[in-house]
């Protein structure tokens, strides 16, 4: 005889602006196996029970960062969070904390994207270089300085974990500040001065209250809290160097 189908209760905070003024909880009973993720549970609900359920996903391999959401109150990637680890349930799924909800588990990312664009997240060469001069070379040791911070997948889990961002949406935030450090620390980059205004601003690194939860929830081990601390050190150096070598002074 085959084993009876196991089920788990998934409770989803729904928000459908055309019919609800405020988000409401809705429960579903989902059959599952040990290899099923929360994302697969949501896909079962959408395919078999309620086709109106809204959520984002793409790669299903913890690479794209699209399926970030709150699972039992913690920021998680739904694709790498397994239902077997959440037994006996219920599993409570909500949109990422601290972001405006557009629909169900889908949040608005406009503010995050604006912050990301504001740090110029690309290499800015220190000097023009022609193709004939060859590529920009870098030693393995120089790569090690920033490689950890380049692993960010823009999943925004760190923002959902950040109490300061929850209080002040204008705060640049851990993920973007980690990427700012990634480029500033790159030996091939010369754009530090162009990013200084973001780093030193009132809503920049000094708004961070050093809780550190952002690093705990990061699925890629980026450690944005450490990046912010290094940015604080660089910001302090930049501030005090102004007194030692005022801008415009000739050496």
The 8-class DSSP code of residue 95 comes to P
Report the half-sphere exposure of 141 (CA within 13 A, side-chain side): 0
d(CA 248, CA 32): 67
**Domain residue spans of the chain:** 7-107, 110-244
CATH number of 110-244: 1.10.1060.10
What is the per-residue pLDDT for 5?
80
139 vs 2, which has greater pLDDT?
Answer: 139
Pick from 153-157, 214-218, 231-235: least confident: 231-235
Q: Which tens digits make up the pLDDT trace of 81-134?
A: 999 999 999 999 999 999 999 999 999 999 999 999 999 999 999 888 888 998
Torsion of CA 239, 241, 242, 243, to 10 degrees: 110
What is this structure's pTM?
A: 0.90
Q: Within its chain, how far is the Cα of 193 from the centroid? A: 25
Q: Where are the alpha helices (DSSP H) in 11-122?
A: 38-44, 110-118
3-state secondary structure of 207: helix
Q: Where are the alpha helices (DSSP H) in 25-156?
A: 38-44, 110-118, 140-146
pLDDT at 234 over 90: no
Q: 7-107 architecture in CATH?
A: Roll (3.10)
Confidence of residue 196 (pLDDT cuts 50, 70, 90): very high
Give 166's pLDDT tier (boundaries 50, 70, 90): very high
């Amino acid at each position: 005889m085959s084993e009876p189908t196991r089920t788990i209760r998934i409770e989803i905070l729904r928000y459908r602006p055309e019919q609800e003024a405020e988000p409401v909880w809705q429960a579903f009973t989902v059959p599952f196996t040990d290899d099923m993720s929360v994302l697969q549970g949501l896909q079962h609900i959408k395919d078999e029970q309620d086709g109106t359920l809204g959520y984002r996903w793409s790669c299903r391999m913890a690479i794209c960062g699209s399926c970030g959401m709150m699972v039992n109150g913690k920021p998680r990637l739904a694709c790498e969070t397994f239902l077997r680890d959440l037994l006996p349930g219920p599993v409570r799924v909500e949109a990422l904390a601290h972001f405006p909800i557009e629909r169900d588990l889908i949040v608005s990312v406009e503010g995050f994207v604006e912050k990301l664009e504001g740090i110029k997240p690309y290499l800015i060469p220190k000097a023009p270089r022609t193709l004939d001069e060859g590529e920009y070379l870098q030693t393995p040791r120089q790569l090690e300085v920033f490689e950890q911070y380049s692993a960010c997948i823009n999943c925004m889990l760190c923002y959902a974990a950040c109490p300061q961002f929850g209080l002040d949406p204008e705060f640049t935030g851990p993920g973007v500040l980690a990427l700012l450090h990634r480029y500033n620390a790159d030996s091939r980059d010369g754009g530090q001065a162009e990013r200084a205004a973001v780093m030193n601003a009132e809503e920049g690194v000094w708004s961070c209250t050093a809780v550190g939860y952002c690093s705990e929830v990061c699925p890629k081990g980026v450690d944005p809290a450490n990046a912010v601390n290094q940015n604080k050190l660089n910001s302090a150096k930049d501030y005090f160097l102004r007194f030692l070598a005022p801008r415009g002074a000739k050496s």
